Amino acid sequence: MRSDRERLLDMLEAIEAVNKYAAKGRMAFDTNELIQTWIIHHLMLFGESAAGLSDAFCDKHPDVPWSKIVGMRNILIHAYFNIDSEIV
């Protein structure tokens, strides 16, 4: 089982990966399927890591919208063919 610290490091890696291609701008995201897939994949990893954080950790950080982060992960994974790129 991964610790909260390991999961937070995973989340940081996912943010860095998203930023790598998000920096190319909205037009690149809208027109390049590989960039879309890359960003969505790393957002799923981010949400998966957040879902595994302990309740104690999340309770210590109530300012973070944990349920929304995990909810986005669920949408990206379970409603893959209905993903709204405007929301992503």
Q: How far is CA 71 from CA 5, 24, 32, 43, in A?
A: 21, 26, 25, 11
Residue 34 located in a structural domain: yes
> What are the average pLDDT values for consecutive 10-residue runs of the chain, which has 88 residues?
96 96 93 93 96 97 97 83 66
How many domains is the chain built from? 1
Residue 88 located in a structural domain: no
Residue 36 located in a structural domain: yes
Residue 32 located in a structural domain: yes
Residue 87 located in a structural domain: no
Q: How far is CA 87 from CA 23, 40, 52, 68, 84, in A?
A: 17, 11, 23, 12, 6
pLDDT score of 81: 65
Query: What does the alpha-carbon distance between residue 60 and residue 70 come to, in Å, rounded to a whole number?
Result: 17
- Segments forming the whole domain that contains residue 37: 4-82
pLDDT score of 68: 95
Query: What does the alpha-carbon distance between residue 36 and residue 33 come to, in Å, rounded to a whole number?
Result: 5
pLDDT score of 76: 87
Q: List, by residue number, the catalytic residues.
A: 73, 78
Q: What are phi and psi of 67, to 5 degrees?
A: -65, -35
